[in-house]
Amino acid sequence: MIKAGIIGATGYAGNEIVRLLSSHRETGIEWLVSKSYKGQQYADIYRNFCDIIDMECLGNDIDALLDRVDVVFTATPQGFLASILNKKMLEKARFIDLSADYRIKDVGVYEEWYKIGHGSPELIEEAVYGLCEVNRDKIRNTRLLANPGCYTTCSILTAYPLVKEHLIDPATLVINALSGVSGAGRGAKVNNLFCEVNENAKAYGVGTHRHTPEIEEQLSYAYGEKITISFTPHLVPMNRGILVTETASLIEGADEDSIRKAYEKHFGKESFIRLMKNGTNPETRFVEGSNYTDIGFKVDRRTNRVIMMGALDNLVKGAAGQAVQNMNIMFGFDESEGLRAVPMVP
């Protein structure tokens, strides 16, 4: 059994990591770090863990804590891990970072979109982008894992097979994405208050959302050339979930059969990707609380475009679940360990 530490354990993603690891048969939680709740019992903050987690939140004395664990999950704001991480720390434990600090290879692009300086650019090249279904072989041996976010995971996976197989013109790719409110984190923000969100839907970060370069970079690797996309996120009044609707022009000769074969080729044997039957569209309620991504498509012959649709739980496959899946790959465990929960309905 390996030992895990979680930094940022009292955020929504950190809490979800605690939930998933609590049922993991190969991993034990050694410590929980929370700057905001130092000294408080974890079960007093999240009472769903009453009589399950008997542990006090610790402060940020990371160097001393590293000697006690094999893997560290960092569910922290952008810039935190990059500001403290060094090669000596990586020699003590493997890190799975849920922020964007090591996702983008071009430090200039990161600093432009996130508006902060990068604290350890010398480590960026070593980091592996943790999209399990795409980079599994690279993930196995890394000691620094850049865990993808919710919008990016859903957007990339939904389009990946068609981009990889050159069945669409990537220059025409348009992604519209809907997110539940938990995607904005647990911090108090006026825009996320109940009265601001309830009975409302809105686009935000139009043309400027910082996940855009991450999606472009990963799909460019798949296509073999640099591509540019149009990405527009929307906030909708639900707790959890991501739904993406993506459209692109088909290349000559591409049809429903070739598209279906592309999805089956890349994802047909994946444990956590479910390909929808013809005429069935993904819905967020059917992935809630699970590590599944549901993907469907429809060919629109009138416009010669394909409509691709994907749904996942932003806190599980879009954050904590993918982080645990990555840990399973890194340590040679069954990839579905701790992640076998059936989606919750209703």
Asked if the peptide bond before residue 346 counts as cis, ω within 30 degrees of 0, the response is: yes
Residues 69, 31 contacting (CB under 8 angstroms): yes
Q: How many residues does the chain have?
A: 346
The rounded distance, in Å, linking the Cα atoms of 71 and 80 is 17
Tens digits of residue pLDDT in 185-229: 887 788 888 999 999 999 999 999 999 999 999 999 999 999 999
Q: Report the CATH architecture of 2-148+317-331.
A: 3-Layer(aba) Sandwich (3.40)
Joined together, the tokens standing for residue 330 give: 């890194």
pLDDT at 40 over 90: yes
8 A C-beta contact, residue 136 and residue 122: no
Phi, psi for 259 (deg, rounded to 5): -70, -45
In this structure, the strands spanning 230-235 and 202-203 are: antiparallel
Residue 85 and residue 120 in contact, taking contact as beta carbons nearer than 8 Å: yes
Q: What is the pLDDT of residue 63?
A: 87
Calpha distance 216→231 (Å, rounded): 10
Q: How far is CA 144 from CA 7, 63, 123, 295, in A?
A: 15, 16, 8, 29
Cβ(145)–Cβ(215) below 8 Å? no
Residues of the chain with CATH 3.30.360.10: 151-314
Residue 132 confidence class, pLDDT cut points 50, 70, 90? very high
Residue 2 has phi, psi (to 5 degrees) of -100, 160
CATH 3.40.50.720 in the chain is located at 2-148+317-331
Return the pLDDT at 293: 98
154 is catalytic: no
* pLDDT at site 184: 83
Top-level CATH class of 151-314? Answer: alpha beta
Neighbours of 65 (CB within 10 A): 19
Q: Which of 34, 29, 136 is nearest to 77 (CA)?
A: 34
Res 27 pLDDT > 90? yes
Query: Per the residue annotation, which of 57, 132, 150, 154 is the catalytic one?
Result: 150
> How far is 258 from 304, CA to CA, in rounded Å?
14
SS3 305: strand
What's the distance, CA 105 to chain centroid? 17
The sheet with strand 2-7 has its strands ordered as 27-33, 2-7, 71-74, 94-97, 144-146, 128-129
pLDDT score, position 159: 98
- The mean pLDDT value for 59-80 works out to 94
Q: How many CB atoms lie within 10 A of CB 148?
A: 31
Q: How large is the average pLDDT for residues 116-120?
A: 97
Nearest to 241 by CA among 233, 249, 252: 233
The share of the chain scoring above pLDDT 70, in percent, equals 100
Look at residue 60 in the predicted model and tell me its pLDDT.
Answer: 80
Neighbours of 205 (CB within 10 A): 15
For 67, 158, 179, 312, the CA distances from 319, given in Å and listed in that order, are: 25, 17, 13, 10
10, with CB counted inside 10 A (0-12, 13-18, 19+), is: buried
> DSSP for 185-243?
-SS--GGGSHHHHTT--EE-STTT-TTHHHHHHHHHHHHTS----EEEEEE-S-SS-EE
For 244-294, write each residue's pLDDT tens digit: 999 999 999 999 999 999 999 999 999 999 999 999 999 999 999 999 999
pLDDT of 186 reads 84
Residues 6 or more apart whose CB falls under 8 angstroms from that of 286 comprise 294, 311, 343, 345
Q: What percent of the chain has pLDDT above 90?
A: 94
User: If pLDDT is split at 50, 70 and 90, which confidence band does 172 have?
Assistant: very high
What pLDDT is attached to residue 61? Answer: 85
